[in-house]
Structure 1
């Protein structure tokens, strides 16, 4: 078993603060690392898309290099303080937010970046942060805390074994996410081809519109649609979901029998064992975030979070739930007021297609979304495996051969 040694964090890293920024400055200029990117990622993404125009001439002062660690400096709660992200490459010309602290390694032969990425998010380090934090209006990670914090580390080779192993789990999750994005794009392309361009297969298997299928002008839509197809508002298509108890945030667990869906970009916010919250979609459900405008298609048993998430299902036999999902996903609601998106969504008009074509699309889409579902649950299993192993790896109870 590797011998673990105690180090002062300030002996291993030099700490620097970032650039104070405003929303008016963001959106153009050089690559810029924001608070939210660090909060949500163990490792910095390949490219930084948050941009900022800065006139500060000292590029080195705010630079981002391989091995740098970024910690969230302040937070509303102690539990969310000092979430971290690690750079695995240099980011030329990039700078970082004043809401972050940069830790730059003094000696790269002592600390392995991939190991530190997981160590700093482990329960072991999180407890250290929480025990040393003083709450005023906000929790704060500051120079004084940095100067006296101590951590226990194994030798470099052991760090490398642990870091590379845990990183391989994260890479598999990233691969699954990329596959799901490509699968979603396939389903979207099929939807566009059939229900936007109207080149669904006709009775001879040829593209309908391109092969001369009859089109008629619809005045409300101000466009032509296939003959025999109708138009309806979204609000008139929706049916109620079986009543189920909503799961409060403080009741969502790390593990459980029932995945809990919220209105963020993540499919699964956590789990619950509360059977009163169980919703069982036979033909999938559409999840719509009234605040976030995030739209998702759920084709597995789940529970709903208590965050205003809307669950939509179609009451029209000519519009399957997966087709309703793609219709709603196509809408731009960005110009509507905060938390009123659902009201305006219900007023939107959609095309009601031929039942046979809708069923054919649902059958093809179902194959795609089953693959997406499998990847979602594999990622959940990998996350649970990582979080189960993390404390044992970080205190030396388990070693990687």
Structure 2
């Protein structure tokens, strides 16, 4: 169905691939985009972990759409907010005429699941499928009048801006939590009984196997502080459909905040498998999730009751210590955890090695004071993450309705109306 002023076109009529090159020396970790630092499930991009080794890379500009062309089912896409360079495995899509096509409208058109389903279905290769560039340009889209394009993009952008604001708040909260941990438990400037910084106010320090520590603090093995929930063994039978029982693997542990990223969960089990298959049980609120294979040493806190852990993840359930303190401590020693790597081809760590790691245990009153502060920070982060899941769901439900014209935006008063 088409509407007055709407027309159906293919991408090639209104957009093209950018193929301009720039010297690799001109890109930085902040503006270099490759398939590795593009985030799955339409989550944008992260910081690059390395710079290109080639002499030149493809240029992109603010307002371009970057699309990962490897394994398109990962749904990696980004609306560029700056200028930079990208690898050859990233497509740069530009619109031909801004008087005919709004950049943000084009981005939201390509953000739809239908588009990624199409690119996946027309891709080439099996082990590492690549999008067919010609087929992508033959993808059909609906093109309303420009003012309606802008109105649609504005509604969706408002949701994305709120999501981004929550992400930025969470990033700052994480920085605050780690800074407080360092101040109290690395610099040992936690408040003494008078409220003054302990070490610089002359607090007594004693020698230990971890160096000088406050008097009365202890050193324990991790094994004495946690029980291990470990489901390694046979791979469970997977559901062909998305269910309420996601498998939390290493991809779900990536990112800067402490909450499991369920958007990165791509495997699911059914209810019966969830209830019967996992020999060690399921994670509970407060468990610390640690990746042991692949991207090792990634850490998240488990909140709620959603999901089961994969073979490359273990859950640490604390005893006789605050899970919030231990989580922050393990984040601080992440490099030491990574040093337990025994893998030659694929990085991996044995939990039997990690369990022997020495942990600094503060006095109970100091631990309790720290936990109370971090608890408030953690629940703020958790609530923001929950809100973002809801906003993403709203956005993704609105997308096809707005782009198909099922929901129209009358230009007279800006009020949404629904076509029956």
| CA drift at 1:64 | 1.4
Q: Which moved more, 1:285-294 or 1:1-10?
A: 1-10
Q: Which residue in the other structure is 1:199 paired with?
A: 189
What are the equivalent positions in structure 2 for 1:225-304 lying under 5 Å apart? Answer: 225-241=213-229, 250-251=238-239, 256=244, 261-263=248-250, 264-265=253-254, 267-269=260-262, 274=271, 276=275, 279=282, 281=284, 284-291=286-293, 292=295, 293-304=297-308
Q: Indicate yes or no: 2:369 matched with 1:379.
A: no
Deviations 1:147-174 (A, max 9, x none): 5433222222121111121122111111
Report deviation, 1:329: 0.7
For residues 142 and 123 of structure 1, the distance between their equivalents in structure 2, rounded to whole angstroms, comes to 17
1:7 is matched with which residue?
A: 9
Measured after TM superposition, the shift of residue 44 of structure 1 is 6.2
Cα displacement string for residues 346-365 of structure 1 (whole angstroms, at most 9, x for unaligned residues): 23211122122212221221
Mapped pair 1:178 → 2:198: no
Partner SS, residue 189 of structure 2 = coil
Q: Is the 8 A contact 1:7 1:150 kept in 2?
A: yes
2:77 to 84, 94, 98: 84
SS in 1 for 2:408: coil
Q: Pick closer, same or farther for the CA change 1:153–1:215 going to 2, 3 Å.
A: same
Work out the number of aligned pairs and report it: 383
Paired with 1:47 and 1:229, the residues of 2 have a C-alpha distance of 38
- Residue 325 of structure 1 deviates from its aligned partner by 0.5
Q: CA RMSD in A?
A: 3.7
Which secondary structure does the structure 2 equivalent of 1:239 belong to?
strand
CA distance in 2: counterparts of 1:179 and 1:227, whole angstroms: 36
* Cα distance in 1 between the residues matched to 2:408 and 2:369: 52
Cross-structure match for 2:344? none
Cα displacement (A) at 1:12: 1.2
Cα deviation 1:170-194 (Å, max 9, x = unaligned):
1111111111121122222222222
Cα pair distance change 1:50/1:393, threshold 3 Å: farther
Q: Matches of residues 1-400 of structure 1 in structure 2 within 5 Å?
A: 3-17=5-19, 31-38=31-38, 40=40, 42=42, 51-52=51-52, 55-56=55-56, 62-75=58-71, 79-80=73-74, 83-89=76-82, 91=83, 94-135=84-125, 138-146=128-136, 148-218=138-208, 220-221=209-210, 223-241=211-229, 250-251=238-239, 256=244, 261-263=248-250, 264-265=253-254, 267-269=260-262, 274=271, 276=275, 279=282, 281=284, 284-291=286-293, 292=295, 293-315=297-319, 317=320, 319-331=321-333, 332=335, 333-337=337-341, 338-340=347-349, 342-400=351-409
Shift of 1:46: 10
Contact 1:31–1:50 (Cα < 8 Å) also in 2:
no
User: SS of the counterpart of 1:169?
Assistant: helix
TM-score w.r.t. structure 1 length?
0.81
| 2:30 and 2:47 in contact (8 A); partners too | no
Distance 1:2 1:200 in 2: 67
CA shift for structure 1 position 203: 2.8
Write out per-residue CA displacement over residues 334-382 of structure 1, whole angstroms, 9 at most, x where no aligned residue: 4442111644432321112212221222122111111111111001111
Q: Distance in 1 between matches of 2:54 and 2:134?
A: 28
Aligned residues of 1:124 and 1:394 also touching (Cα < 8 A): no
> Relative to structure 1, is the Cα distance of residues 79 and 49 closer, same or farther in structure 2, using a 3 angstrom cutoff?
closer
Aligned mates of 1:247, 1:166 — CA distance in 2: 39
Deviation readout 1:101-145 (Å, 9 max, x if unpaired): 222222112221212222112133234334544545543333432
Q: Distance in 2 between matches of 1:46 and 1:259?
A: 23
- 1:373-392, CA deviations, whole angstroms, 9 ceiling, x for partnerless residues? 11110011111111121221
| CA-CA distance at 1:208 after TM superposition | 2.3
Contact 1:18 1:102 in 2 (8 A): no
Q: Are 1:44 and 1:87, in contact at CA under 8 Å, matched by a contact in 2? A: no
After TM superposition, the structure 1 stretch with the greater mean CA deviation from structure 2, 178-187 or 300-309, is 300-309
